[in-house]
Chain A
Amino acid sequence: GDSVTQMEGPVTLSEEAFLTINCTYTATGYPSLFWYVQYPGEGLQLLLKATKADDKGSNKGFEATYRKETTSFHLEKGSVQVSDSAVYFCALSVRSSNTGKLIFGQGTTLQVKP
């Protein structure tokens, strides 16, 4: 079945460090890929998305490129801030599905220290 695998956390970085959170997927159809973020005490919100191979999603300094050949959608940021501390979820939605339901990875906790 369709699934998403994320690197395990927690990830602890110093401010201004480079961030990579790995995400790989398995899908029978042609998925759209998403990164969602959950800040402490807040609900899930969409960070970025990519709908086809080689697309790059970007938002708030975060980027992720849809790599069909490696079935990956790694999240990167060049210089993290304390305010980026949150839980990050990689997710997919298979377009052949009529529902658009999201299949999530386990989540990766990021802690950024000043």
Chain B
Amino acid sequence: GAGVSQSPSNKVTEKGKDVELRCDPISGHTALYWYRQSLGQGLEFLIYFQGNSAPDKSGLPSDRFSAERTGGSVSTLTIQRTQQEDSAVYLCASSLGTGVYEQYFGPGTRLTVT
């Protein structure tokens, strides 16, 4: 079946612009995660959605970052007023639930802020 998909695969933007990154999780997966992979910080958790519960936003690095998940499926990560330090690969993952369920990762969106 289809895996986790993300779009765009690459995004180049100018400093100060807003960007939106999209994630389509595996159908039926109730949990959805966003992570960031950067050279300086490695792989970091950003935000988590589970069903209709309030999201865990504890990993978002600043208030310029926000995310939503519509209808319990597709998720969008928005970065406002991008900075060069936002350059990274943004990974989305989904799973059947939390805890020991395997998280399936998408291919990522490579964001470059110039």
Interface residues of A (CB under 8 A from B): 32, 36, 42-46, 49, 51, 89, 91, 93, 95, 98-107
Residue on A with the closest CB to B108? A43
Main secondary structure of the interface of B (DSSP, over half): strand
Minimum Cβ distance to chain B for residue A54 (Å):
16
Q: Is B33 an interface residue (CB 8 A)?
A: yes
Q: A residues within 8 A CB of B45?
A: 101-103
Verify B42–A43 contact, CB threshold 8 A.
no
Minimum Cβ distance to chain A for residue B71 (Å):
20
Verify A49–B100 contact, CB threshold 8 A.
yes
Q: A residues within 8 A CB of B103?
A: 46, 100, 102
Verify A44–B105 contact, CB threshold 8 A.
yes
Given contacts A43-B107, A98-B56, A100-B31, contact A107 B99 (CB under 8 A): no
Verify A100–B43 contact, CB threshold 8 A.
no
Q: State A57–B31 Cα separation when bound (angstroms).
A: 24
Minimum Cβ distance to chain B for residue A94 (Å):
10
Q: Is B76 an interface residue (CB 8 A)?
A: no
Verify A100–B106 contact, CB threshold 8 A.
no
Minimum Cβ distance to chain B for residue A37 (Å):
11
Given contacts A99-B48, A107-B42, contact A32 B100 (CB under 8 A): yes
- Kindly list 17 other residue pairs between chains A and B, CB separation below 8 angstroms, not including A44-B105, A101-B48, A101-B56: A32-B100, A36-B105, A43-B108, A44-B91, A46-B103, A49-B102, A51-B100, A89-B43, A91-B43, A95-B99, A98-B50, A99-B50, A99-B98, A100-B48, A100-B101, A102-B45, A104-B42
Given contacts A98-B56, A99-B56, A102-B45, contact A46 B100 (CB under 8 A): no
Verify A101–B42 contact, CB threshold 8 A.
no
Residue on B with the closest CB to A45? B105
Q: State A59–B44 Cα separation when bound (angstroms).
A: 25
Q: B residues within 8 A CB of A98?
A: 50, 56, 98
